[in-house]
Amino acid sequence: MMRDLPASIDDTVDLLNSARYVADRALATVVFLSLRMGRPLFLEGEAGVGKTEIAKVLADALGRRLIRLQCYEGLDVASAVYEWNYPAQMVEIRLAEASGDIDRERMTSDIFSERFLIKRPLLQALEAPDGLAPVLLIDELDRTDEAFEAFLLEVLSDFQVTVPELETIVAEHPPIVIITSNRTREVHDALKRRCLYHWVGYPDTARELAIVEARAPEAAGDLAQEVVAFVQALRGEDLFKRPGVAETLDWVSALHELDRVALDPATINDTLGVLLKYQDDIARMEGSEAQRLLSQIQAEIKAEANR
Amino acid sequence: MTASPMSPQGPAGPDDEGGRLAENIVHFARLLREAGLSVGPGQILDALQAARAGCLRGREDFYWALHSVFVTARDQHPVFDQAFKAFWRQPRMLEQLMALMLPEIAIKANPPKKRSGERRLGEAMFDEANAPKREQQQEVELDASFSFSADELLRRKDFEQMSVEEQAEARAAIARLRLDRVEVPTRRFTPSHAGTRVDLRRTMRSSLRSGGNLIDLQWRARQTREPPLVVLCDISGSMSGYTRMFLHFLHALTNDRDRVQVFLFGTRLTNITRQLERRDVDEALDAVSETVEDWSGGTRIGHCLREFNYLWARRVLTQGAHVLIITDGLDREDAGDLELEMARLKRAARRVVWLNPLLRFDGFEARARGIRTMLPHVDEFRPVHNLESLEDLASALSYSRKAEYDPRRWLEKARAA
């Protein structure tokens, strides 16, 4: 299903909602502007707060293709932009040789034609079949090295790629670009400046509850409320890695699988590994700590209900 | 993000027509720049475009629109927030506001700052005047030591024992010091005759040169690169005799290679990488001394390591970083935390090297609890009190497993005693 770009911020909120993404006004504003101005959107934030999800949701809601470039150290042009299909080229040369028909000019232009070009994500993203630009997700940019970052600068400012053997390929309809970073390394200012920037933080209780209701409707109301309150309280603790929204959703479905309708200390202890990913953190929260936190949030929920 | 945009009163909102909005945005950008954000003309145009994008109703939308353009890092958010609140209430009072709002910056910008070159200039002139005298002294020294040249003596002399003059010479030597390049393979490839993998792209091109008749294999090998280096340097009271010399060393290091991050710690942790990146050593050290707040205080190694692990480790210890810890390991605190944090550090880094000036004493034993706690979690334990030991550092970063520097040696000794 294809949809037009949203015409206002309210429209953007609706659009994201329709794909079950609960965004706050700030995020909706930058998403709207990024679509309107045709600028890449640079999202930073802790792991698991829904940065990558935005790209998926946008592609889904707008009916566009999603092209994902997962970054890693040593990512180079050959695996990000294009590569030639060497075996096929070799075969072609051999065939030409066998038929005794070697015209160097023609051979070169044959060998380096689009037929032998393997398009990687960035090149694919410049194509817009039926006039619909895809959504390009450049995920975890902080994992690449500076060399690739510098290369991206060119691609993102002009939306063009040069294949020396062919030509410069320019996007007729520039893609919608979402870049995410977990801030394991500082990304260079020059790149950030070509983008609209937004820090995606942890949601507050009300929004997280809305997210759980949108994403995991199977959870009974009370359980969802308890889970969200517990995770929110957990984020206030002194942890090496605080749980993100993704972990909350995982936990809800884990509890659902276990047929739990309410939290109890034993269940929390058994499933703590869904929320916390460091042994130190788990050891810290296990047992009496979890129990303390649980009774604290249960008291709060009760007080809230009585009011 | 929890910023709450301000009350809806005041001029120059997004509905404003043309000229005035543009003018206000330019002023606002200037204010942000004054406050330390790097705002270029391109961003001003973007901001204008964003503000005119239509469908921006009310101040909150306007706030986030400008935010997305002007803010490029999380820590800039509070500055933007303050500036926005102040400016878009009464833009006419820009001049006064800037003076009121940014007293710190105003003070920093104008102070009758002592020029960093001044001291050096003074020393240079002073030296000039005393030049003959110094020559004489050197002669005497040479006479007194048959086996070592003056240069060699200097290399082995403890930093703490040096005279002012020798310290100056040592500093000059440090500035000239270049650590050997220690490189590790990366995941990228580069053309190489000695390579072990076929480079198909180049092979194809070169074979076409002969019309495809001849297939001349081209090779490629892994590119190498220096691993990132992270330095944690103790500046507490017990280290004060060495601090200045180490800072000179760290400055030389930062300017010699890329991907060096330097932290100082005493009772708190300070990242001084940006300050050290200034080319001029005096200017850099001036900037450092302005930034650091706990010179020559106590030591809380565990606490500072914890701060490092929580706030920085995930950001600076990527891509197989080496860690240098420079401290005497004399900690005032409970060792429990220290143990945990050292173990964490060890797991996150490719290699941890501990440089300890206490090792200069022949009879050194790993008695102190802090030292015993830290030792099991380091790969190498070395002295760092004179030029020679600094020069030796290169081998510390190159996986040399010299028994001399094995931390276990000290632990066994301490246990036997």
Q: Is B318 on the interface with A (CB under 8 A)?
A: yes
Mean pLDDT for B205-216 is 73
pLDDT greater at residue B210 or residue B238? B238
Q: At A88, give phi and psi (nearest 5°).
A: -65, -40
More confident residue, A289 or B133: A289
Q: Is the pLDDT of residue B56 over 80?
A: no
> Among the residues of chain A, which ranges form H helices?
9-18, 25-37, 51-62, 77-80, 86-98, 104-111, 121-125, 146-158, 189-193, 205-215, 221-235, 245-257, 265-275, 279-285, 288-306
Res B152: pLDDT: 66
Domains in chain B, start-ordered, CATH in brackets?
187-225 (no CATH), 229-414 (3.40.50.410)
Q: Find the farthest-apart pair of alpha carbons in chain A and give their distance in angstroms, rounded.
A: 91
Rg (CA), chain A: 25
Q: Is the pLDDT of residue B336 over 80?
A: no
Distance of CA A17 to the CA centre of its chain: 17
- What value does the mean pLDDT take over residues A107-112? 81
- C-alpha torsion B316→B320→B321→B322, nearest 10: 160
Per-residue pLDDT for B129 more than 80? no
Backbone angles phi, psi at A117, to 5 degrees: -90, 125
| Residues B164-205: tens digit of each pLDDT | 788 888 888 777 777 666 777 888 888 888 888 888 888 887
Instruction: Say if B277 is an interface residue toward chain A (CB within 8 Å).
Output: no
Residues of chain B positioned with their CB less than 8 A from the CB of A10: 55
- The whole-angstrom separation of Cα A16 and Cα A208 is 15
Structure tokens at A143: 């994992």
Pair B371, B339: CB distance under 8 Å: no
Chain B residues within an 8 Å CB radius of A143: 318
Treating both helix axes as pointing N-terminal to C-terminal, what angle do A25-37 and B41-51 enclose, rounded to 10 degrees?
110
Coil, helix or strand at residue A286: coil
Contacts 24+ apart (CB under 8 A), B198-201: B200/A84, B200/A86, B201/A78, B201/A83, B201/A84, B201/A86
Q: Does B66 touch chain A (CB under 8 A)?
A: no
Residues in CB range of A19: below 8 A, 6 or more apart: A57, A58, A60, A61
* Model confidence at B95: pLDDT above 70: no
Q: What is the pLDDT of residue B105?
A: 41
With H, G, I as helix, E, B as strand and everything else as coil, classify residue B326. strand
The per-residue pLDDT for range A129-140, each reduced to its tens digit, is 888 899 999 999
Q: Give B262-273 pLDDT, tens digit per residue.
A: 999 988 899 999
Residue B183: the pLDDT is: 78
Question: Are A25 and B64 in contact (CB < 8 Å)?
Answer: yes
Comparing alpha-carbon positions, the chain B residue that sits nearest to A24 is B1
Residue A106 distance to chain B (closest CA, Å): 10
Q: Which is more confidently placed, B125 or B50?
A: B50
Q: How many CA atoms are closer than 13 Å to the CA of B236, on its beta-carbon side?
A: 20
Whether B208 sits inside 8 A of A104 (CB atoms) is yes
**Confidence (pLDDT) at B171:** 81
Whether B406 shows a pLDDT value over 50: the answer reads yes
Q: What global pTM score does this model have? A: 0.79
**In which order are the strands placed within the sheet that holds B219-225?**
B184-191, B219-225, B197-198
